[in-house]
Chain A
Amino acid sequence: MRSVLATALVGLSKDKDFAFLTGDLGFMALEPVRAAAGERFINAGVAEQNMISVAAGMARLGFRPWVYSIAPFLYARAFEQVRNDVCFHKLPVFLVGNGGGYAYGVMGATHHALQDYGALLGLPNLRVYVPAFAADVPVAAERIVRAGGPAYFRLGRDETPKNAVLPAYAPWRRLLAGRGPALVIVGPLAGGILAAAMDRPDQIRPALWVLSELPLLPDEIPPALLDDIQRSGHLVVVEEHVIEGGVGQALAHALLLCGAAPKRFSHRYALGYPSGFYGSQNYHRKECGLDPQSIIALIEKT
Chain B
Amino acid sequence: MADPGNRVSTPDLRQEVAVKELHRRVRLRLLRMHYESGVGHLGGNLSALDLLLTLHHRVMRKDDLFILSKGHAAGALYVTLWSLGRLSEEDLLQFHRDHTRLVGHPQADAIPEILLATGSLGHGLGLSAGLGIGKRLRGEPGRIFCLMSDGEWNEGSTWESLIFLVHHRLVSVIPIIDLNGLQGFGTTAEVADLGCLADKLRGFGLEVREVDGHDPEAIRCALQVEELTRPFAVVARTIKGHGVSFMENRMEWHYLPMSAEQYAQAVAEAKRL
Contact = CB atoms under 8 A, between A and B. Distances in A.
Contact of A19 (B115, B119, B135, B137): B137
B125 to A, nearest CB: 8
Interface in B111-134: 115-120, 122-123, 125-134
B156 interface: yes
A33 to B, nearest CB: 16
Given A53-B129, A54-B133, A84 B117 contact: yes
A278 interface: no
Contact of B160 (A47, A62, A80): A47
Nearest to B128: A57
Interface residues of A, number: 27
A63 interface: yes
A80 B120 contact: yes
Given A53-B123, A53-B126, A53-B130, A47 B137 contact: no
A123 to B, nearest CB: 13
Interface in A136-167: none
B138 interface: yes
Given A40-B137, A84-B117, A85-B123, A60 B160 contact: no
Interface residues of B, number: 32
A49 B157 contact: yes
Interface in A51-109: 52-63, 80-81, 84-85, 88-89
Which one of A47, A54, A81 has the highest number of Cβ atoms from chain B below 10 Å of its Cβ? A54
Given A40-B137, A47-B163, A57 B108 contact: no
B263 interface: no
Majority SS of interface residues in chain A? helix
B21 interface: no
B168 to A, nearest CB: 8
Contacts of A40: 137
A42 interface: yes
16 contacts: A40-B137, A45-B160, A45-B167, A49-B126, A50-B126, A50-B160, A53-B127, A53-B129, A53-B130, A56-B130, A60-B115, A60-B116, A60-B134, A61-B134, A61-B140, A84-B119
